[in-house]
A and B are shown apart, each in its own frame.
Chain A
Amino acid sequence: MADTETTGTTETTEAETTETTAPTEAEASETEVAESATTATEPGTELATRDDDAAVAGGEHAAVPLLPGGLRPHPEPLQYVLIALVLVVVTGLEVWTSYLDQVLVDGAIIALLLVFAVVKFFLVASWYMHLRTDSKIFRRFFVLGATGAITLYLVVLLTLHVFGD
């Protein structure tokens, strides 16, 4: 494992010094705009321009290359472990909050619990399911299903006065 990761790092370093046309993460938010611009310009020219922009922008993300399609590579195993630690802490806070019924009113407890659940949901979906790095079409499908379900059933429950009793 160590050997593999070392090799990967070496490749990255070499690429930074020899490849001047590789797109970088700095313009990740501009990917869609750049995609449309690419169709109107010569690919080589476009990439060189994007690289120049990234060099001007600088910053810690400038050295991370994008994959074809404007995608970012998956996180490293250490990042997965760090996310797991955050999930453990949030779960602990969640369980602890549920025992605060002598201190907080029910409304405050419910609000806190929902916030914790949403944080955990987004951490798993974005990091472990790679929604933050994969194609936007996957994110759109999932957001469509999740928000559609929440909206639909919220309307049903509100219509049936579930939260009014």
Chain B
Amino acid sequence: MAQTTTDVERHDGHTPAPAGSGAHGAEHGSEAMLTNTKLGMWMFLSSDCLFFGAFISAYLLYRGRSEEGPVPEDVYNIPFTSVTSFILLMSSLTMVLALAAIQRGDYRRLRVWLLATALFGATFIGGQIFEFTEFYREGLALDTNLFGSTFFVLTGLHGAHVTGGIIWLLSLWGLAAQGRLTSADSEKVEVAGLYWHFVDVVWIVIFTVVYLVPQ
């Protein structure tokens, strides 16, 4: 807590960033302090770990206990899911490049990277919809068996998170396109980025545990 107090005091005192930190660093210097928005987002992400942990655990709990209907080996298309996972991973790169752009005051690149991130996210969701459709055609639905229930709920909730992130990113892109998102607002992009990176790290776990680990 001592660190927290120190940070807040310095933030309130408007202590300037040390000389030599550069434009990027100086901007970060005014934004990296303990703010309610960032702290709130980190608290939300911390609680979301428990949220996703519950559904991943439910999947593991019922794995291999389906008595009828398709099982993972029947429906999984690992090469396809690997490609969509790769796309989501790359969206984290474009997201962090968007943050670096707004911190430098490079608004053209900010708009490009925000839109690229949203498009990568939309591609991931498109892949997920295609995957769900294929699974349904092969006879796996939400109520087919334990595998179907736990798989669709877990990956569907993750997809809902990604969809929410896409809407958030497009809102930021709209603000940036109207010139209403400046370097002074870089924390808005940073907080959105935290959320986006979180859904990426959750997918890193889901991809490994649900798709790649031998059944």
Contacts and interface: CB of A to CB of B under 8 A. Distances in A.
Interface of A: 1, 4-5, 7-9, 11-16, 18-19, 22-23, 32, 35-36, 65-69, 71, 73-74, 76-77, 80-81, 83-84, 87-88, 91, 94-95, 97-98, 101, 106, 109-110, 113-114, 116-117, 120-121, 124-125, 127-130, 133-138, 141-142, 144-146, 148-150, 152-153, 156-157, 160, 162, 165
Given A124-B200, A141-B43, A110 B20 contact: no
Interface of B: 2-4, 6-7, 10-11, 15-25, 28-29, 32-34, 38-39, 42-43, 45-50, 52-54, 56-57, 60-61, 63-64, 78-79, 82, 85-86, 89-90, 92-93, 95-97, 99-101, 103-106, 109, 193-194, 197-198, 200-201, 204-205, 207-209, 212-214
17 contacts: A4-B24, A8-B24, A11-B21, A15-B18, A22-B19, A69-B10, A73-B22, A73-B25, A109-B213, A117-B207, A128-B93, A128-B95, A128-B200, A135-B3, A135-B32, A138-B39, A146-B46
Contacts of A69: 3, 6-7, 10-11, 32-34
Contacts of B28: 67, 71, 73-74
A87 B89 contact: yes
B23 A137 contact: no
- Classify the interface of chain B: helix, strand, loop or mixed: helix
Contacts of B96: 80, 127-128
- Between A113, A152, A153, A160, the greatest number of chain B beta carbons within 10 A of the residue's beta carbon is seen for A153
A19 to B, nearest CB: 5
Given A120-B204, A145-B45, A137 B34 contact: yes
B47 A145 contact: yes
A145 B57 contact: no
B20 A22 contact: yes
Contacts of B57: 153, 156-157
B100 A77 contact: yes
Contact of B49 (A8, A13, A128, A146): A146
